[in-house]
Copies of this chain bind each other. A is one copy, B any other.
Amino acid sequence: VTGVTRRGRGSYALAGVDVVGWGTVVGKMEAAGPLGADFDEALTDDLWGEPSYEAAERALAVAALDRALERARVARDEVDLVVGGDLLDQLYSTNFAGRAHQVPLAGVFSACATFTEAVGLAGLLIAAGGPAQAAALAASHHLAAERQFRFPVEFGYQRPPTASWTATAGGAVVLSRDRGPVRVVGVTFGRVVDRGAKNPMDMGTAMAPAAADTLTRHLENFGRRWRDYDAVVTGDLGHVGSAILRELVADSDDFQARHDDCGRSLYDTSQDAHNGGSGAGCAASVFAGPLMRRLREGSIRRLLLLATGALFSPTSYQQGESIPCIAHAVEFEARGGET
């Protein structure tokens, strides 16, 4: 039986929504990192046979979706709705992916928090008794993001140690009323938090307060403590933001014992990714790859995934604005031996 129960402002408990498919496609660097074995497919080079980095991002988004559909044993035309987004202006890769997959599309944007916004919305729609199956999708490409947000990499600018590395990655899940190995049990939508940070080369510092805000609201609204979770995994805070978040949450030792960050875990320190991975595809691929494996294997039984987004644009940055941030939380439970 599907259903939604309001658990406080912006927080909803879901019943009857399962992850039945999951798929990931990543770049060469991500495939060479510590999580590489958990991804389905790796780009052979930055363009992957496409005419532009943006087109390559579209191609990897479609490929990640198709991997998830394949696992779910669902055809493209059996999916009611794709809820998805990316970092590019006007959701370039999501919309052109929509032209390829031809599934009704609801485009969403929360920067690097896009994946949990998409999973939250898609999960709620299924719990409502709407779509029978819906997919959530998020993607990013390092070289497309760099030239849009900062400089073309050919410019060779120097990156400070606090800078995050936009991941070349796409992750998709298929959610369904049918039974799968993992349930989507709760969602908390974030509000915009801006403590005045202005440096796009240090998004961890900017985003940590938004992460703390949503985590605190989620725990309060659902009556949870850190000990209720096997893992609390943030999106793209990286080394810098994770250290700050630890100081912002209550019961910090309990938090620290089960906290990990997608961006921090995606690359080895030898890979020169500085603060760690970021991008809409970072949390998407780390969830749909290694975290789904751990949930299926039972080494994580209950997971709180909190993707974090820095909502600046090159225009807002050039106008001297600070960086508004947001974080959306989704809670997952493994069905364990039952499936």
A residues near B (Cβ < 8 Å) are 3-6, 9-10, 12, 51-52, 54-55, 77, 80-81, 85, 87-92, 95-96, 98-99, 102-111, 117, 120-121, 124-125, 127-132, 148, 188-192, 194, 311-316, 319, 321, 324, 326
CB neighbours of A55 from chain B (8 A): 319
Q: A10-B80, A89-B90, A125-B124 are in contact. Are A104 and B313 (CB under 8 A)?
A: no
Main DSSP-derived SS at the A contact region: mixed
Contact assessment for A316 and B132 in the assembled complex, using a CB-CB cutoff below 8 Å: no
CA distance A190 to B105 in the complex (A): 6
> Closest approach, in angstroms, between the C-beta of A222 and any C-beta of chain B?
14
Q: Are A98 and B54 in contact (CB under 8 A)?
A: no
Q: A54-B316, A109-B109 are in contact. List 10 more A-B contacts (CB 8 A).
A: A4-B128, A9-B80, A81-B189, A89-B89, A92-B316, A104-B189, A106-B108, A106-B110, A106-B189, A128-B129
Question: Is there contact, CB below 8 Å, between A105 and B326?
Answer: yes
Residues from chain B with Cβ under 8 Å of A5 in the complex: 129
* 5 A-B residue pairs with CB within 8 Å: A10-B104, A98-B192, A105-B192, A107-B117, A128-B129
- The reply to whether B130 and A4 form a contact with Cβ atoms under 8 Å apart is yes
In angstroms, Cα B10 to Cα A17, docked, is 18
Task: Indicate if the CB atoms of A90 and B311 lie closer than 8 Å.
Answer: yes
Q: CA A253 – CA B174 in complex, angstroms?
A: 42
Name the contact of A108 in the complex, choosing from B12, B107, B315 (C-beta under 8 A). Answer: B107
Contacts of A131 in B (CB 8 A): 6, 10, 12
A192 engages B129 (CB within 8 Å): no
- In the bound complex, how far is the Cα of B88 from the Cα of A109, in angstroms? 12
The answer on a CB contact under 8 Å between A92 and B128 is: no
**Cα distance A51–B312 when bound, in Å?**
17
Inter-subunit contact B105/A90 (CB<8 Å): no
Contact of A326 among B98, B110, B192 (CB under 8 A): B98
Within 8 Å by CB of A132, from B6, B88, B110, B188, lies B6
Minimum Cβ distance to chain B for residue A128 (Å) = 3
Tell me which residues across on chain B come within 8 A of A102, comparing CB atoms: 191-192
Query: Are A324 and B96 in contact, with the CB atoms below 8 A?
Result: yes
Roughly how many angstroms separate A111 CA and B129 CA in the complex, as a whole number?
27
Cα–Cα, bound, A312→B91 (Å)? 9
Q: Is the CB of A4 within 8 A of B129?
A: yes
Which residue in B87, B91, B121, B313 is a CB contact (below 8 Å) of A88?
B313
* CB–CB A128/B124 < 8 A: yes
With a cutoff of 8 Å between Cβ atoms, the chain B residues found around residue A107 in the complex are 108-110, 117, 311
Contacts of A130 in B (CB 8 A): 4, 6, 12, 124, 128
